Structures are given as C-alpha cells and as structure tokens.
A and B are shown apart, each in its own frame.
Chain A
Amino acid sequence: QVQLVESGGGVVQPGGSLRLSCAASGFTFSSSAMHWVRQAPGKGPQWVAFIRFDGGSEYYTDSVRGRFTISRDNTQNMLYLEMNALRGEDTALYYCAKDISSSWFEYMDVWGKGTTVIVSS
C-alpha cells in the first residue's frame, strides 16, 4: 500500500543538526513532488519545504531557508531533510507528504505518521 515512513528525529541541543529521512513505498516516488510539513505541540501544521520530482526545484519557508536542505534519492525512494543550526522553535512533529503533482504545489494526498524533533539544552 501507499506509505511514507519518517525517521531520524530525536533530542538535539540548540545549534545542533539532525537529518530526517522518509521512506516511500507503494507509488512511483520518482514522479512525485514531496513536502516536509511540521506541527509544533498544540499548533496547526506549518509547511517547511518542497522538492520537485527530479530534485530540480526546492522551496522553503523563510524561517528555515539557509538552515534546512530538502533532498531526495529517487533510486532509493527516499526523501531527506538536513537540519542545521537548530532552534527551540524548530521543535515539532515533522511529516513528509506526497504532492499529487510532480512539479508544482497542488495538494498533499499521502502523509507519513511523523518523526519528533525536540531542540532543548
């Protein structure tokens, strides 16, 4: 079945780094644009980053641009989020989500269950 499974979350000190992974299965990953969306405790979802099906375009929300990098490996059906210079406000449940489109933003039709990132000293 169509599935996204995130991993790599954990507790990290402010200024530290983490790499999140998302394993995709059950659909043609190499034809799908992908997103990272996060949700802080008790808050609504916040879109974080987007990557086109071929990795040719990336977009970020302002608060993470320059600190986070989205990437993908279509040979391994994997999506990644490299997070550097982490701050307390990055604490959240991080979801990967598939877009129905291959190259632009339409809507997110498949979501993983998320991986938790806690930034704390």
Chain B
Amino acid sequence: DFVMTQSPLSLPVTPGEPASISCRSSQSLLHGNGKHYLDWYLQKPGQPPQVLIYLGSNRASGVPDRFTGSGSGTDFTLKISRVEAEDVGVYYCKQSLHVPLTFGGGTKVEIK
C-alpha cells in the first residue's frame, strides 16, 4: 500500500499568519498522464471531509485562493497564505493513484 505521512500532527496558528502542511508518499504519485494523484481535504468538526485541492495543485470549486497545493513525486505541501478562524479542523492528504486509496494521518489546525 502507498503510505501517506503528514506533518506536523498539530499546528497552532495565529489568524492572519501563514500555515504549511507537508504530505509525503511512500511512492511517487505521478501518473503516466503527467498528473499527480494527490488531493487535500479539510474535515471541520462534526462534518464530512471536503475537498480543497485535487491533482496536487488544482483548487476545487469554491475554495478560497488563500489555499495553495504544490509538490511533485512523493512530496507535497498545502499552504494557507493567511489563516482564518473558519480554517480550523483536520487536514488530510489522500492518494488516488493506487488501490487501495490511502489517506494521511491528518494535521489538526487550531487557532492559538
């Protein structure tokens, strides 16, 4: 299985400040079509996950432009340019290149 490792586990942030989350895959997520099959989801308390970024760097519909996904191969990053109070929750990366699809362990973002 592709193992997805996220860091940090917990991320206290100050509103208005930037934040960054790392996701590392045990194998490359580059498909032969040139796309990286890596998504980012945010799970707010009491809600299902919601997609933020797909195929490594594409912002999903309705996602604010303060969220940016980047990376290639096995190393990916989600950056929030200026954290807002509504951004609290657990962030997960997920690979969909290989069955079984696998999620990272999560990064809990909370306001300081």
How far apart sit A42 and B51, CA to CA, in the bound complex (Å)?
Answer: 20
**Interchain CB contact under 8 A, A112 and B48:** yes
User: Which residues 89-114 of A have a CB within 8 angstroms of B?
Assistant: 95, 97, 100, 105-109, 111-114
**Interchain CB contact under 8 A, B106 and A47:** no
User: Which residues 87-107 of B have a CB within 8 angstroms of A?
Assistant: 90, 92, 94, 96-97, 99-106
B50 proximal to A (CB < 8 A): yes
**Interchain CB contact under 8 A, A44 and B101:** no
**Interchain CB contact under 8 A, A44 and B51:** no
**Interchain CB contact under 8 A, A44 and B96:** no
Assess A46 versus B103: contact at CB under 8 Å? Given A106-B55, A107-B55.
yes
Chain B 33-63 interface 0/1 with A at a Cβ cutoff of 8 Å (1 = within): 0000101010100011111001100001100
How far apart sit A44 and B104, CA to CA, in the bound complex (Å)?
Answer: 8
Report the interface size for chain B: residues with CB under 8 A from the other chain. Answer: 26
Closest to A105 in B: B96
- A-B interface contact total, Cβ < 8 Å: 59
The listed residue with most B CB atoms (<10 A of its CB), out of A45, A62, A105, is A45
Apart from A44-B106, A45-B94, A50-B99, 18 more pairs, CB < 8 Å? A44-B105, A45-B103, A47-B94, A47-B101, A47-B102, A47-B103, A59-B100, A61-B100, A62-B100, A106-B55, A107-B54, A107-B94, A107-B96, A109-B51, A109-B61, A111-B48, A111-B50, A114-B48
- The 9 lowest CB-CB distance pairs between A and B, nearest first, are A111-B48, A105-B96, A47-B101, A107-B54, A61-B100, A107-B39, A44-B106, A59-B99, A45-B103
What are 26 sample pairs from A and B whose C-beta atoms fall under 8 A apart?
A35-B101, A44-B105, A45-B41, A45-B92, A45-B103, A47-B94, A47-B100, A47-B101, A47-B102, A47-B103, A50-B99, A60-B100, A62-B100, A97-B48, A105-B96, A105-B99, A105-B101, A106-B37, A107-B51, A107-B54, A107-B94, A108-B41, A109-B60, A109-B61, A111-B49, A113-B47
